[in-house]
Amino acid sequence: MQRLTEHIAAFSNSPLAALTEKTPWALTTNSVSAVRRLLNGISEEFCVSDDVAIHRTTTVEAGALVKGPAIIGPRCFIAAGSLIRGGCWLEENCIIGPGSELKSSFLFAGSKLAHFNFVGDSVVGARVNLEAGSIVANFRNELADPRIRILHAGEIVDTGVDKFGALIGDDCKLGANAVVAPGAIFERGTIIARLTSVDQRPS
């Protein structure tokens, strides 16, 4: 099992700590219920409406769309033209840039989708940066059997789910227009070059 705490240092001290023993794909598959549970204990520092909790220090520009359930932490910036949906949790100082979409995902402190990004069904560590146009896909529509299988550290991991994007460790960087195929695991500090295609499915 890929331990979330091995990839994301702050996981065990975060509001998600009770979910530490879950696999990342179990967490993203159940993101809606996980975020709804967190909403039950949300503090008065958040403005809450229609299953969306936004910290009072966060900026959400006109034209951004946030669909609940969602929790957006302190000092985040959600740009015009962005979309957050499917059960998302953002820690502090995160940026969702213009034209970006975040779906069923968890972002830790200081992570950024610069602009025109898609990240689906993923767990993203702290200080991760996605340059413009980089994509983390979440579904293999090119295969008759879309079940997500991953070749990682010489072992084949069968997730048992049809949708999963990536587990991205702290301090990773994805270059502009890089494409990550569904089902990826990146160790802390991994750098993906611009225009790179990454596919960790076993052949």
Per residue in 39-85, pLDDT tens? Answer: 998 999 999 999 999 999 999 999 999 999 999 999 999 999 999 99
Write out the catalytic residue numbers. 115
C-alpha dihedral (51, 56, 58, 63), degrees to nearest 10: 60
Residue 2's pLDDT is: 61
Residue 1 has pLDDT above 70, yes or no: no
Cis previous bond, 69, omega within 30: yes
Sign of CA dihedral 20, 23, 27, 28: positive
pTM of the model: 0.96
Residue 73's pLDDT is: 98
Mean pLDDT across the chain: 96
Residue 203's pLDDT is: 83
In whole angstroms, give the CA distance from residue 46 to residue 84: 17
The torsion region of residue 118 among left (phi > 0), alpha (psi -120 to 50) and beta comes to beta
CATH of domain 4-198: 2.160.10.10
